A and B are shown apart, each in its own frame.
Chain A
Amino acid sequence: MSVETTTSPEVKKEPLFSKKNRKVLTDPLDDINPVTVQILGVCSALAVTTQIKPAIIMALGVTVVTAFSNLIIALIRDSIPGRIRMIVQLVIVALLVTIVDQLLKAYMFDVSKKLSVFVGLIITNCIVMGRLEAYAMSQKPWPSFLDGIGNGLGYGMILVVVAIIRELFGSGSLLGYKVVPQWLYDAGYSNNGLMMLPPAALFIIGIFIWIQRSRNRKLINAS
Chain B
Amino acid sequence: MKFLRRIVDTVKPHFSKGGKFEKLHPAFDALETFLFVPATTTKEGVHVRDAIDLKRTMVTVIIALIPTVIFGMWNTGYQHHLAYGMEVSIMENFMFGFWKVLPIIIVSYAVGLGVEFIFAITKGHQISEGYLVTGLLIPLTLPVTIPLWMVGLAAIFCTLIGKEIFGGTGMNFMNPALLARIFLFFAFPAYMSGDIWTDLSPEAGQAIVDAYSGATNLVTFDADQTKLPSAANMFWGFEQGSIGETSVAACLIGAFILVATGIGSWQIIFSCFAGAWLMGVLLNVLAPADMPTHAMHTPAYYHWLMGGFAFGAVYMATDPVSAAQTETGKWIYGLLIGAFTVILRVFNPAYPEGVMLSILLMNVFASLIDHIVVERHIKRRLKKVSSE
Binding site for B on A (CB under 8 A): 188-190, 192-195, 197, 199, 203, 206-207, 210
Residue of A nearest to B191 (CB): A190
Residue of A nearest to B183 (CB): A194
Q: Beyond A203-B161, A206-B165, A210-B165, is A190–B190 a contact (Cβ under 8 Å)?
A: yes
Smallest Cβ distance from A213 to chain B, in angstroms?
12
| Chain B residues, Cβ within 8 Å of A197 | 186
| Chain A residues, Cβ within 8 Å of B191 | 190
Q: Is B38 an interface residue (CB 8 A)?
A: no
| Chain B residues, Cβ within 8 Å of A193 | 186-189
* Structural contact, A195 and B187, CB atoms closer than 8 A: yes
Residue of B nearest to A210 (CB): B165
Q: How large is the interface on B (under 10, 10 to 19, 20 to 34, 35 or more residues)?
A: 10 to 19
26 A-B pairs whose Cβ atoms sit less than 8 Å apart in the complex: A188-B147, A188-B149, A189-B149, A190-B147, A190-B150, A190-B188, A190-B190, A190-B191, A192-B187, A192-B188, A193-B186, A193-B187, A193-B188, A193-B189, A194-B183, A194-B186, A194-B187, A195-B187, A197-B186, A199-B186, A203-B161, A206-B161, A206-B165, A207-B161, A207-B165, A210-B165
| Chain A residues, Cβ within 8 Å of B188 | 190, 192-193
Provide the main secondary structure of the chain A interface.
Answer: helix
Smallest Cβ distance from A67 to chain B, in angstroms?
35
**Complex interface residues of chain B between 170 and 218 (CB less than 8 A to chain A):** 183, 186-191
Residue of A nearest to B184 (CB): A194
| Chain B residues, Cβ within 8 Å of A199 | 186
Q: Tell me, in angstroms, the Cα distance from A189 to B150 when the chains sit together.
A: 9
Q: Tell me, in angstroms, the Cα distance from A158 to B300 when the chains sit together.
A: 50
Q: Tell me, in angstroms, the Cα distance from A57 to B381 when the chains sit together.
A: 60
Q: Tell me, in angstroms, the Cα distance from A197 to B149 when the chains sit together.
A: 21
| Chain B residues, Cβ within 8 Å of A203 | 161
| Chain B residues, Cβ within 8 Å of A188 | 147, 149
Smallest Cβ distance from B356 to chain A, in angstroms?
15
Residue of B nearest to A189 (CB): B149
Counting from the closest, the 7 A-B pairs by CB-CB distance are A194-B187, A194-B186, A192-B187, A193-B187, A188-B147, A190-B188, A193-B189
Q: Tell me, in angstroms, the Cα distance from A54 to B166 when the chains sit together.
A: 33
Smallest Cβ distance from A197 to chain B, in angstroms?
6
Smallest Cβ distance from B296 to chain A, in angstroms?
30
Q: Tell me, in angstroms, the Cα distance from A190 to B186 when the chains sit together.
A: 13
Q: Tell me, in angstroms, the Cα distance from A170 to B189 when the chains sit together.
A: 13
Q: Tell me, in angstroms, the Cα distance from A195 to B161 when the chains sit together.
A: 15
Q: Tell me, in angstroms, the Cα distance from A137 to B190 when the chains sit together.
A: 53
Smallest Cβ distance from A50 to chain B, in angstroms?
14
Smallest Cβ distance from A204 to chain B, in angstroms?
11
Residue of B nearest to A188 (CB): B147
Smallest Cβ distance from A167 to chain B, in angstroms?
15
Residue of A nearest to B153 (CB): A192
Q: Tell me, in angstroms, the Cα distance from A195 to B189 when the chains sit together.
A: 12
Q: Tell me, in angstroms, the Cα distance from A168 to B187 when the chains sit together.
A: 14
Smallest Cβ distance from A192 to chain B, in angstroms?
5
Q: Tell me, in angstroms, the Cα distance from A194 to B157 when the chains sit together.
A: 12
Q: Tell me, in angstroms, the Cα distance from A199 to B189 when the chains sit together.
A: 16
Residue of A nearest to B182 (CB): A194
Q: Tell me, in angstroms, the Cα distance from A189 to B152 when the chains sit together.
A: 13
Residue of B nearest to A203 (CB): B161
| Chain B residues, Cβ within 8 Å of A210 | 165
Q: Tell me, in angstroms, the Cα distance from A207 to B156 when the chains sit together.
A: 14
Smallest Cβ distance from A187 to chain B, in angstroms?
10
Q: Tell me, in angstroms, the Cα distance from A189 to B149 when the chains sit together.
A: 9
Residue of A nearest to B192 (CB): A193
| Chain A residues, Cβ within 8 Å of B161 | 203, 206-207
| Chain B residues, Cβ within 8 Å of A194 | 183, 186-187
